[in-house]
């Protein structure tokens, strides 16, 4: 029986970058994400650091996933990052995008409801051949995913990337998220959209109770809007509506000033 469920859910077309602190935090984030995908009949594909793979499999087993069976039937694939991103010794964004599209189409032909991927991106820190293509690749995925029966998580360690690179990473995703436990009972998700940030807080043990949200400008203390919804999607939509409203006002004022 699949027993894990994430407080925060994602939907088809989402392309998300998630920032993690350490291996334990990463595995804790990935397990419910993958369990939700398997529960929904999706094909789940992972590209992970070699040292993460056994920890991830053990954690999935602990949450009711028969990883051997899921791998055997093609519902779960867990690969080392080099196998996925450097099959010929060099990262090629166009070839990677084509492989991704083929995987999505093959998943549907095989009877899966969709395709769900979780990919480690810290390899870009190594400066290996083609690593400079990463921002352009992320932009290609971001443009393609809204029309695909797929969900993608790109994993970035909080430490290691320069602020300039992290800003380009954020720009290449529909959402940039960092899920943290702010108390024993509450989990928070920070959603970055352009120059705005929405913090959504939920009860870890009763996520259906309420999702509180606060919207601010990145780096500013002023609260632009806040509220409460009974679902994560609704809280994200409400936050996005506030962000869109302020972004529209800002564009109008700039146009008027010019």
pLDDT in single tens digits along all 258 residues of the chain:
343 445 556 888 988 888 888 899 899 889 999 999 999 999 999 999 999 999 999 999 999 999 999 999 999 999 999 999 999 888 899 999 999 999 999 999 999 999 999 999 888 877 666 677 888 888 899 889 988 999 999 998 877 766 677 666 766 676 666 655 555 566 677 777 778 888 888 766 665 678 888 999 888 889 999 999 887 778 888 988 998 888 888 776 665 555
Whether residues 77 and 152 fall in one domain: yes
Query: Which strands make up the sheet holding 186-193, listed edge to edge?
Result: 76-80, 43-48, 115-120, 150-157, 15-20, 175-181, 186-193, 196-203, 211-217, 223-229
Domain identity same for 190 and 141: no
Residues 104 and 156 in one domain: yes
Say yes or no: 171 and 203 in one domain: no
188 and 148 both lie in a single domain: no
Q: 10 Å Cβ neighbour count for 230?
A: 11
Do 168 and 68 share a domain, yes or no?
yes
Q: What is the pLDDT of residue 4?
A: 42
What pLDDT, on the 0 to 100 scale, is given for residue 5? 46
Note the pLDDT of residue 130.
Answer: 64
pLDDT value of residue 2: 42
Are 48 and 168 members of one domain? Answer: yes
How many structural domains are present in the chain?
Answer: 2
Same domain, 198 and 252: yes
pTM above 0.95, yes or no: no
Does residue 258 share a domain with residue 144?
Answer: no
Instruction: Tell me, rounded to whole angstroms, the distance of Cα 32 from its chain centroid.
Output: 12
Q: Name the domain boundary from 134, 158, 181.
A: 181
Query: 165 and 39 share a domain?
Result: yes
Q: Residue 248: give the domain boundaries.
A: 183-258
How far lies 219's CA from each of 122, 156, 195, in Å?
Answer: 25, 21, 9
């Amino acid at each position: 029986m699949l027993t894990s469920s994430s407080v925060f859910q994602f939907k088809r077309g989402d392309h998300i970058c998630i920032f993690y602190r350490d291996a334990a935090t990463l595995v804790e984030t990935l397990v419910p994400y993958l369990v939700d995908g398997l529960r929904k009949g999706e094909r789940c594909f992972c590209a992970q650091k070699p040292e993460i793979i056994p920890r991830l499999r053990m954690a999935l087993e602990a949450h009711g996933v028969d990883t051997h069976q899921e791998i055997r039937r093609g519902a779960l694939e867990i690969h080392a990052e080099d196998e996925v991103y450097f099959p010929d010794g060099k990262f090629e964004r166009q070839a990677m995008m084509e492989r991704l599209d083929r995987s999505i189409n093959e998943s549907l032909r095989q009877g899966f409801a969709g395709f769900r991927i979780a990919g480690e991106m810290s390899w870009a820190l190594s400066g290996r051949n083609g690593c400079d293509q990463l921002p352009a690749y992320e932009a290609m995925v971001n443009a393609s995913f809204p029309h695909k029966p797929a969900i993608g998580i790109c994993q970035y360690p909080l430490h290691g990337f320069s602020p300039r690179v992290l800003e380009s990473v954020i720009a290449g995703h529909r959402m940039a998220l960092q899920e943290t436990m702010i108390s024993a009972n509450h989990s928070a998700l920070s959603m970055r959209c352009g120059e705005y940030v929405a913090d959504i807080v939920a009860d870890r043990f009763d996520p259906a109770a309420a999702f509180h949200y606060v919207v601010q400008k990145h780096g500013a203390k002023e609260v632009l809007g806040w509220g409460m919804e009974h679902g994560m999607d609704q809280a994200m939509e409400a936050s996005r509506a506030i962000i869109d409203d302020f972004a529209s006002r800002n564009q109008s004022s700039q146009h008027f000033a010019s």
